[in-house]
Amino acid sequence: MKRVGVLGAGSWGTALALQLARTGHDVQLWARNPEMALLLAEEGRNEVYLPEAEFPDGLLVTSDLDRLVDSEAVLVVIPSHGFRSVVRELLAVWPRDRTVVLVSATKGVETDTLARMSGVSSEEAEAAGCDHRFAVLSGPTFAAELAAGVPSAAVIASEDHQLAAELREAFSDWNLRLYSSSDVVGVELAGAAKNVVAIASGVVSGVGLGHNTTAALITRGLHEISRLGVVCGGDLQTFSGLAGLGDLVLTCTGGLSRNRRTGIELAEGKSLEQIEGETSMVAEGIRNSLAISRLAHREGIEMPITEQMRQVIYDGKEPELAVAELMMRELKAEAQL
């Protein structure tokens, strides 16, 4: 897979485009805004999201989706609420005689439909009359660190075993080690649900609680994420791997985590409107708290941390009260799913 398209010129999309171009791929990085695409091309870097990383040879920036139709794989790195519309736009120009390979690097679930990005891709491809193959890329990877060449590892999952293996071999390099998986459900849900627990981790830090509390939160957070994933058809083993535990630990403890930062700011008394208005970066856990809470309700399972964060974010619940209610829940055996 020599020719790769990347939809989305935010921090993660730019980092992936940089990584692939540095390893010999011909990359077309798509930005929706033509002015932004022109600016990125002229400056040879993304001053807004990754100002330290210079674009290598082989990375071209465009706002024209027609430039991506020669791609052998297209990475979709769009926030979950915009994923469907961008995929629809791409498929509208995609040649009907060629199969499109879509690789989701989005960690989210649609709030209204509760569809994962694999379902969105399938629905849109069917509606457009396009043959498609799908994979998801996820794991403990901060964009800034990958862009800086920091050794990282992640998972590439597809129900198409051959595609997972092809992408694993094509995209891995000395600083990015990919492991293949067939558990699309588990990898997608782990990536979406951990963002909500990361906001809770920020809340814990923001109200001045300690490492004991954070460790308990991460452990019990993994428990409820696993519960959701298994009920929805995921493999329990996935949640102890890179896309599960690995990504959860990183997002709950790392200083570069947007979701953790959101939790800290909530604990400091900032409103959701203030938090979203002060940054151009998207904290997926904000919308994911609604989507995951609704998904848990649909499946008839308890996700107490997620539910408390939904109430803190959208109902104005005091963070200290949310923590207290989590601590005073009915006692039970630890292993009980």
Name the strand (E) or helix (H) holding 46.
Answer: strand 45-46
In 3D, which of 136, 133, 132, 134 has the Cα closest to residue 107?
A: 136
In 3D, which of 96, 97, 109, 79 has the Cα closest to residue 7?
A: 79
How far is it, in rounded angstroms, from Cα 267 to Cα 301? 27
How far is it, in rounded angstroms, from Cα 114 to Cα 104? 16
Judge contact between 191 and 116, C-beta under 8 A: no
Length of the chain: 337
Instruction: Specify the amino acid at residue 265.
Output: E
How far is it, in rounded angstroms, from Cα 117 to Cα 115? 6
Residue written as tokens 């959101």? 262
Please confirm, yes or no, whether 194 is among the known catalytic residues.
Answer: yes
Judge contact between 314 and 306, C-beta under 8 A: no
How far is it, in rounded angstroms, from Cα 49 to Cα 281? 8
How far is it, in rounded angstroms, from Cα 324 to Cα 107? 29
81 exposure class (CB count in 10 Å sphere: 0-12, 13-18, 19+): middle
Judge contact between 161 and 109, C-beta under 8 A: no
Catalytic residue among 2, 194, 270, 332: 194
Active-site positions read 194
